[in-house]
């Protein structure tokens, strides 16, 4: 994978120093592509790329054109079926000058325009410059694995793989958007196209964008559909299992295509153990696997990681993440996420990718996506239990199922019926609401908006992020099952906006590592979405189909184990380390007052409360992490203007438009 950036000066008479600006943008995202860099420079256009070489190491340099020389591309990602598409292009008599997927993308666009996206199986974001029509075409993969941000101000359109590049371009005023912060403090992320920053947007997953002198146009080319399939129930479980394994195995197989070694994450859970097992089936050579453990047994899964590695005979690399590590690296984490986070979980993932890079591995296969599309998360079970409880809301027995579900949280595990009703009874009977599965989570998260500064709270009076979300729902969502609605919300908001971004791409690419996700192959997603609910969540048995499929492939202890959510320590990381000077700095009353984001009295009261309590609630942990990360974001990018003086970019290859005209 790579990083891309560019500026299109739609007003040809204005003076915009394109080369200097784009060079600065690329320099700031050099971690995404440390191997090479290039720029296409025209009178009113400059597009550039920093490259992480994975395929066709010798001749895959960017920017790159189609055979006519009219279309020029900068590209971030992988098209895993590029070999087959390459043959498709050659059969049309078109000569290709490289063996890389980048040329396949631009040539397919030359042939089919926006329809080319329907041919691609991959993860990508790219920009294609059409010289003849003076138009930029940008696109992002179906589920948002790879980022693409843009700004459009005073007829200057700029884009970049990361927000910091847009801020460095100087075309947008630096500031945080308060409504976007309210979204983060509700959903854990913003709702696309919004970002935490003023006048900086993201191209939503599954969308493409055209920019020309008529303005900008965004269209959706793919959306997950969770409609109930009436004919799927008639198929035998044997046939379904066979087709699912064949699809998933092929998804793994094409993701092993690379001209560099490929490793795998091995968390000790079902998903990563299955993908590693399939890799072992396809290529029985010793595989490098990587895992992270924790000092605190509550978070640690080392036992299962080592068991899986031994069973599959991998060359395993394991390390322990300490509370000090999280404290020490959280500041760097926020530099890369460019979003506030409500969990410290991205930091261990940053450290894990660092270990991968130290082992000279550029690509890892990982297991994200199975939980979303095969109903693996507790939130799906919680919705089912709450709906069951809503049939008899006075029952004291039914809410006890929730204490069993969250047995890893002492405050819930040990709660009595009254406490459970107070906590889980929020809008219990609102079962027809399309947000029913997530209303409780969002309500609890949004309670932390009380820490906003008084003037921000006043500005947000009457603003409800859920109204924005209502306007973006699919027209037929009311026909979906409760599980289907929950899966849609989880995959389009939490997965795309947080899991694949703050905890995924940004932590991998911070150390120049590419992640690949077999469960997010669109063929696998579309297959899972057509399954009956009981093949995903069977009673309260999550990922039923995957568990059935994995019989004999992985250790039974892992196949049958209770899912352990990936979590990492919060109060221990921030409140027990006086050496974390940045925490003291951003939480100081001086900075809280001067930044104007939070109420210092309420923040100080939260810290005092957490220092006294032995068991800190999940809501308070989220509040502390959100406050620290938002303060860090503001300090780095608004106050300190991070990256404004970064210009260094060695060996930049520039292609001048007039030389290739």
Q: Which residues are catalytic?
A: 2
Paired tokens of 294? 């924790």
Return the H-helix or E-strand segment holding 617: none
Catalogue the long-range contacts made by 79-85 (C-beta closer than 8 Å, 24 or more residues apart).
Answer: 79/104, 79/105, 79/120, 79/121, 79/122, 79/124, 80/121, 80/122, 80/254, 80/255, 80/257, 80/516, 80/521, 81/119, 81/120, 81/121, 81/122, 81/254, 82/55, 82/122, 82/257, 83/257, 85/119, 85/120
Nearest by Cα to 324 from 569, 11, 130: 569
Residues paired with residue 194 on neighbouring β-strands, in sequence order: 201
Report CA 611 to chain centroid distance, whole Å.
32
Identify the DSSP state of 322.
P
> Residue 654 phi/psi, 5° resolution?
-110, 130
Identify the DSSP state of 273.
H
Per-residue burial over 235-262, b = 16 or more CB atoms within 10 Å of its CB, e = otherwise: eeeeebbeebbebbbbbbbbbbbbeeeb
- Quick one: three-class SS letters along 217-229? EEEECCCCCCCCC
Name the percent of the chain in helix, strand, coil, to the closest 5. Answer: 45, 15, 40
Phi/psi region, residue 268 (left: phi>0; alpha: psi -120 to 50; beta: rest), is left
Instruction: Judge whether 435 and 489 are in contact, CB under 8 Å.
Output: yes
Sheet with strand 363-365: strands edge to edge: 315-321, 288-294, 262-265, 363-365, 514-516
Instruction: Judge whether 91 and 65 are in contact, CB under 8 Å.
Output: no
Residues paired with residue 124 on neighbouring β-strands, in sequence order: 77
Taken as a whole, the chain contains a residue count of 661
């Amino acid at each position: 994978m790579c990083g891309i950036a560019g500026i299109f000066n739609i007003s040809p008479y204005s003076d915009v120093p394109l080369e200097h600006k784009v060079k600065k943008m690329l320099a700031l995202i050099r971690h995404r592509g440390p191997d090479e860099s290039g720029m296409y420079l025209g009178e009113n256009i400059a597009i550039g790329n920093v490259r992480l070489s994975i395929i066709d190491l010798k001749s895959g340099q960017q920017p790159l054109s189609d055979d006519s020389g009219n279309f020029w591309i900068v590209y971030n990602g992988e098209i895993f079926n590029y070999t087959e598409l390459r043959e498709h292009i050659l059969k049309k008599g078109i000569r290709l000058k490289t063996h890389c997927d980048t040329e396949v993308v631009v040539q397919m666009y030359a042939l089919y325009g926006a329809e080319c996206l329907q041919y691609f199986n991959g993860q990508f974001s790219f920009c294609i410059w059409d010289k003849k029509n003076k138009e930029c075409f940008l696109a992002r993969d179906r589920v948002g694995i790879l980022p693409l941000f843009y700004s459009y101000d005073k007829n200057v359109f700029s884009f970049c793989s990361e927000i910091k590049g847009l801020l460095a371009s100087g075309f947008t005023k630096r500031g945080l958007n308060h409504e976007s912060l309210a979204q983060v403090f509700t959903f854990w992320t913003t709702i696309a196209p919004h970002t935490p920053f003023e006048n900086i947007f993201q191209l939503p997953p599954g969308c493409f964008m055209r920019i020309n002198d008529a303005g900008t146009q965004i269209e959706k080319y793919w959306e997950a559909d969770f409609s109930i399939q009436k004919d799927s129930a008639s198929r035998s479980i044997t046939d379904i299992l066979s087709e699912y394994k064949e699809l998933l195995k092929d998804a793994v197989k094409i993701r092993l295509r690379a001209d560099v070694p490929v490793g795998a994450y091995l968390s000790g859970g079902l998903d990563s153990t299955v993908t590693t097992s399939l890799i072992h089936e396809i290529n029985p050579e010793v595989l490098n696997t990587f895992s992270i453990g924790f000092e605190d047994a509550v978070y640690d899964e080392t036992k299962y990681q080592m068991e899986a590695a031994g069973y599959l005979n991998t060359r395993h690399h394991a390390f322990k993440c300490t509370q000090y590590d999280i404290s020490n690296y959280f500041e760097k984490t926020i530099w890369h996420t460019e979003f506030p986070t409500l969990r410290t979980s991205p930091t261990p993932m940053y450290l894990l990718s660092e270990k991968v890079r130290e082992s000279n591995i550029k690509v890892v296969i990982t297991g994200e996506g199975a939980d979303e599309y095969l109903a693996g998360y507790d939130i799906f079970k919680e919705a089912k239990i709450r709906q069951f409880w809503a049939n008899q809301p006075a029952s004291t027995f039914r809410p006890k199922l929730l204490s069993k579900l969250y047995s890893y949280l002492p405050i819930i595990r040990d709660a009595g019926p009254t406490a459970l009703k107070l906590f889980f009874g929020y809008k219990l009977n609102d079962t027809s609401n399309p947000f029913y599965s997530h209303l409780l989570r969002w309500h609890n998260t949004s309670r932390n908006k009380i820490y906003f500064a008084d003037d921000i709270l006043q500005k947000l009076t009457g603003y409800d992020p859920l109204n924005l979300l209502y306007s973006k729902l699919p027209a037929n969502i009311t026909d979906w099952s409760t599980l289907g609605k929950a899966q849609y919300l989880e995959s389009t908001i939490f997965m795309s906006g947080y899991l694949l971004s703050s905890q995924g791409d940004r932590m991998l690419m911070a150390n120049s590592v590419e992640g690949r996700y077999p469960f997010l192959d669109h063929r696998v997603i579309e297959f899972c979405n057509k399954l009956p609910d009981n093949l995903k969540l069977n009673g309260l048995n999550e990922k039923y189909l995957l568990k059935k499929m994995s019989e004999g492939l992985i250790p039974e202890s892992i196949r049958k184990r209770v899912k352990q959510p990936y979590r990492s320590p919060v109060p221990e990381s921030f409140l027990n380390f006086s050496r974390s000077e940045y925490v003291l700095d951003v939480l100081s009353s001086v900075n809280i007052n001067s930044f104007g984001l939070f109420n210092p009295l309420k923040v100080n009261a939260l810290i005092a409360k957490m220092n006294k309590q032995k068991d800190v609630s999940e809501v308070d942990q989220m509040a502390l992490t959100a406050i620290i990360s938002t303060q860090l974001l503001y300090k780095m990018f608004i106050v300190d203007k991070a990256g404004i003086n970064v210009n260094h970019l060695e060996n930049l290859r520039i292609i001048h438009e007039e030389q290739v005209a």
